[in-house]
């Protein structure tokens, strides 16, 4: 059986269903929160309601992308997942974010030999994620295993810390068969990141580059996809970057050229202000994660993206790409 590793156990990848391929429900600390309080997402009740509203409009699974040291909170995420056991799936990630979120001189990724870091990440996939996300020397493994490995790169730059995290991701994938998902800063460095990962031995068919919509260069998308890696277009409802019509038109342009098997969709609603339930607690209205299905997918259909292509991007591609090898 081809399987996806959720926090409540492995599932047949055929049962993944409509998938938000990069999102956030809980984040209880980390450098992002230090920089901006809107990144603090620590309400289990709001997270439950937001995830439930995604399921209510036809969603089934969510890839939650907070890695080690960035406010990942396994116990709180488990509360959310258990509330929807049998109805919805949550996948969590091990690995690292971009260098800017860490002290790159003293962090254990920087100070340890790569094999030791790979082992620590692989154990999160094979045995269970640390209850405290490796924030200290005491490790308490939970029953929840990671189903993704994350790495991150900077704006138009890849720092040594990030290069090492990419290598860790590739080597951890070789050991465990786990898929990889990479944060790109404003959608830059995608081609070089794909080449580096391939050089480190990653299987690009089980690897995703995220946030490319922030760099709406469809010719670059084509060059990236021609390398065999996948793109997750996240963040519709972010007019401060680009209007949704630009994202929708670029997706259609790629689908028309035969790339629909390599595209994933998500909201990446990584701040409380992007989520309906968190903002409801403040008496503020926001579209929320469900808008991916209720708002953005209808735009794709209206401009002529076929039902079959939408089914690939939301269901068939996640089932194939996020499956363990
Ligand atoms: Zn994100």
At 82, list the tokens.
Answer: 């258990």
Q: How far is the CA of 97 from the centre of ligand 1 (A)?
A: 10
Under a CB-based contact definition with an 8 Å cutoff, are residues 51 and 90 in contact? Answer: yes
Q: What is the pLDDT of residue 94?
A: 98
Q: How far is the CA of 127 from the centre of ligand 1 (A)?
A: 25
Nearest to 86 by CA among 25, 6, 148: 6
Distance CA 325, CA 178 (A): 7
Under a CB-based contact definition with an 8 Å cutoff, are residues 187 and 213 in contact? Answer: yes
Q: How far is the CA of 24 from the centre of ligand 1 (A)?
A: 6
Q: What is the pLDDT of residue 303?
A: 98
Q: How far is the CA of 231 from the centre of ligand 1 (A)?
A: 14
Q: How far is the CA of 150 from the centre of ligand 1 (A)?
A: 11
All structural domains of the chain? 3-321 (3.20.20.140)
Distance CA 159, CA 258 (A): 34
pLDDT tens for the chain, 325 residues long, are: 899 999 999 999 999 999 999 999 999 999 999 999 999 999 999 999 999 999 999 999 999 999 999 999 999 999 999 999 999 999 999 999 999 999 999 999 999 999 999 999 999 999 999 999 999 999 999 999 999 999 999 999 999 999 999 999 999 999 999 999 999 999 999 999 999 999 999 999 999 999 999 999 999 999 999 999 999 999 899 999 999 999 999 999 999 999 999 999 999 999 999 999 999 999 999 999 999 999 999 999 999 999 999 999 999 999 999 999 9
Distance CA 262, CA 59 (A): 20
Q: How far is the CA of 284 from the centre of ligand 1 (A)?
A: 22
Q: What is the pLDDT of residue 235?
A: 82
| Dihedral sign (CA 135, 47, 129, 263) | negative
For the chain, counts of helices (H) and of strands (E): 14, 11
Q: How far is the CA of 56 from the centre of ligand 1 (A)?
A: 22
Beta strand pairing status for 230-233 and 263-265?
parallel
Helix, strand, or coil (residue 180): strand
Residues, Cβ < 5 Å to ion ligand 1: 65, 268, 270
Find tokens 């342009």 and name the residue.
Answer: 253
Q: How far is the CA of 177 from the centre of ligand 1 (A)?
A: 23
Q: What is the pLDDT of residue 238?
A: 92
Q: What is the pLDDT of residue 187?
A: 95
∠ CA 13-144-167, nearest 5°, is: 75
Nearest to 102 by CA among 166, 148, 26, 165: 165
Q: How far is the CA of 111 from the centre of ligand 1 (A)?
A: 26
């Amino acid at each position: 059986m081809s399987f996806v590793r959720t926090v409540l156990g492995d599932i047949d990848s055929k049962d993944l269903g409509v998938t938000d391929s990069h999102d956030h429900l809980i984040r209880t600390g980390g450098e992002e929160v230090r920089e901006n309080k809107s990144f603090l997402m620590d309400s289990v009740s709001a997270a439950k309601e937001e995830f439930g509203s995604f399921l209510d409009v036809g969603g089934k699974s969510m890839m939650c992308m907070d890695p080690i040291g960035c406010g990942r909170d396994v116990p709180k995420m488990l509360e959310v997942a258990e509330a929807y056991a049998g109805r919805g799936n949550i996948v969590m990630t091990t690995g690292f974010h971009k260098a800017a979120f860490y002290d790159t001189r003293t962090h254990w990724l920087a100070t340890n030999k790569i094999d030791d870091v790979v082992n620590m990440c692989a154990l999160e996939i094979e045995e269970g994620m640390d209850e405290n996300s490796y924030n200290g020397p005491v490790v308490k493994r939970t029953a929840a295993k990671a189903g993704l490995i994350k790495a991150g790169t900077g704006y138009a730059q890849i720092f040594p810390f990030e290069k090492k995290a990419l290598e860790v991701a590739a080597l951890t994938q070789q050991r465990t068969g786990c898929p990889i998902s990479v944060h790109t800063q404003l959608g830059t460095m995608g081609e070089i990141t794909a080449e580096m990962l391939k050089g480190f031995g990653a299987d690009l068919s089980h690897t995703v580059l995220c946030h490319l919509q922030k760099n709406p260069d469809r010719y670059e998308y084509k060059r990236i996809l021609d390398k065999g890696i996948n793109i997750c277009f996240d963040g519709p409802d972010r007019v401060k970057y680009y209007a949704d019509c630009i994202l929708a038109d670029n997706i259609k342009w790629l689908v028309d050229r035969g790339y629909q098997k390599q595209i994933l969709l998500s909201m990446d609603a990584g701040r409380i202000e992007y989520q309906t339930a968190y903002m409801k607690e403040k008496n503020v209205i926001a579209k929320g994660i469900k808008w991916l299905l209720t708002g953005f997918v209808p735009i794709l259909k209206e401009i002529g993206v076929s039902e079959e292509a939408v089914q690939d991007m939301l269901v068939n591609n996640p089932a194939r790409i996020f499956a363990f090898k």
